[in-house]
Structure 1
Amino acid sequence: MRYVLFDVDGTLIDAVSNQRRVWAAWAERYGLNADKVYEVALRTRPTETFAQVAADRDPRECLAALHELEDEDVRSGVYAAFDGAAELLRGLPSGSWALVTSNYEHRVRGRFRRTGLPMPDVIVDAAAVDEGKPSPAPYLRAAAMLSAAPEDCLVIEDAPTGVESGLRAGMTVWGVNAPVAVEGVHHHFGSLREAVPSVLAFAAGGGLRDGTKL
């Protein structure tokens, strides 16, 4: 059996504008330049962002404020699934796929409800592991929960930290939703829609693996 492990934001759900709005509101709360804050936030985890842009502030207070804004955005923001996401997830066998996200499960569930995407049985979120991406821990945790061997898992990612996480876990990693391939991916698709046939073929035991035909 083959397994597919998906990142969420930027891979299945287009959340860029939402993330920008959240960080802009957070920056305004602390009297900071929104563009500069977002530029840092794109490259680092929240606690690292706070250390760089608001070193004089209590990081726990900063994180609480960010979580408040993110939760409100899940309730009231507008979200869209990438083209092909619903078809792909509904086409995968039950128990053969999981979500691996740096976000929190309740927000992921809220976004999936808003976009009508089906939910899997397994979600590995920021609270499920001690080390997030680019550590291999999140993807290895998902594989263990599916009773899957890493070599039987395909990771679908859009960002360098997620790609590194999947590669370090010993899995096949395909990149999507970027004009240029992220370094290290075994195969690159410009969009999720382009990847749908190959991902379904992989899950069925055929198609591409490590960028070559099986």
Structure 2
Amino acid sequence: MPDPLLLPSPGAAFADRTFDAVLFDMDGTLIDSVPAVERSWRRWAAEHGITGPEELVIPHGTPARTVIAELLPPDRVLPAFDRLHELELTDNAGVTILPGTLGVLAELPLGRYAIVTSCTRPLAAARMAASGLVPPPVVVTADDVAHGKPDPDPFLLGAELLGVDPTRCLVVEDAPAGITSARAAGCAVLAVTGTHTADQLAGTDPAPDAVATGLAVVRFVTGPEGIRIVDA
């Protein structure tokens, strides 16, 4: 497992690289929805008889339907997912934009970045509205792909909708499932801490190219050769 202390800074890791587009995860990367997510999952767990809801490991970065399918029998998955979706749609109190998000997005031209999230489209819209985040023209959600993260489909679709080669994309992610998805799609990866520690992110196989404490410590510079990432 790579030592996060030995991983280069984003500026050093990508010093010789440029990208045609940046694909951002949303929750934990652009916005902080952790309190709302945890409230909804713990209430859902209590309602559905999941033992020890207070000890439930809240999933981040994986589509909720996939997680529920691992916890409940097949005949209970769909109604249980519908209930969780209802809880999440109606509780977005405290969802905020993370530090650095607005500055980074302002540095990127429209059409050169997208949001790729494991949320459903209605939930993504609700969380962006609650936080004040203005959605870009391209937003890929769990509703748009047959297989969500950690499969590569979400990032492959994001690159396709932007009209770029996925190997020319930088993915910014906060969760191991998203890192795995991005790597499988052939993308470079910058991981940001928050929902997971630097050790957890660096231990993903394959590992991200770099780990940062958030978007506030990086900048994006767009030039004739593409997008460069530098340390702030």
Shared fold, TM over 0.5: yes
Tell me the residue number matched to 2:145.
129
Deviation larger for 183-192 or 4-13: 183-192
Distance in 1 between residues matched to 2:227 and 2:113, nearest whole Å: 16
Once the two structures are TM-superposed, the CA of residue 150 in structure 1 deviates from its matched residue by 1.4
Distance in 2 between residues matched to 1:192 and 1:103, nearest whole Å: 21
Whichever structure has more helix as a proportion of its residues is 1
User: For this pair of structures, how many residues does the alignment match?
Assistant: 203
Q: Secondary structure at the match of 2:124?
A: helix
Deviations 1:150-175 (CA, angstroms, capped at 9, x unpaired): 12211000111101111111111111
Deviation larger for 105-114 or 168-177: 105-114
Residues 1:6 and 2:24 aligned together: yes
Q: 1:130 to 1:114 in 2, by over 3 A?
A: same
Structure 1 unaligned blocks of 5 or more: 210-214
Distance in 1 between residues matched to 2:184 and 2:178, nearest whole Å: 10
Tell me the residue number matched to 1:71.
89
Q: Secondary structure at the match of 1:127?
A: helix
Residues 1:93 and 2:112 aligned together: no
Tell me the residue number matched to 1:212.
none
Query: One-letter code of the match for 1:162?
Result: G
Once the two structures are TM-superposed, the CA of residue 47 in structure 1 deviates from its matched residue by 3.7
Determine which structure has greater relative contact order: mean sequence separation of CA pairs < 8 Å that are 6+ residues apart, divided by chain length: 2
Distance in 1 between residues matched to 2:89 and 2:45, nearest whole Å: 16
Tell me the residue number matched to 2:127.
111
Contact 1:90 1:118 in 2 (8 A): no
Percent of counterpart pairs with the same letter?
32
Once the two structures are TM-superposed, the CA of residue 94 in structure 1 deviates from its matched residue by 1.2
Once the two structures are TM-superposed, the CA of residue 57 in structure 1 deviates from its matched residue by 6.2
Distance in 1 between residues matched to 2:69 and 2:34, nearest whole Å: 22
Once the two structures are TM-superposed, the CA of residue 98 in structure 1 deviates from its matched residue by 0.3
Once the two structures are TM-superposed, the CA of residue 59 in structure 1 deviates from its matched residue by 1.2
Deviations 1:155-214 (CA, angstroms, capped at 9, x unpaired): 00011110111111111111112541433111111222112x1xx13x4436459xxxxx
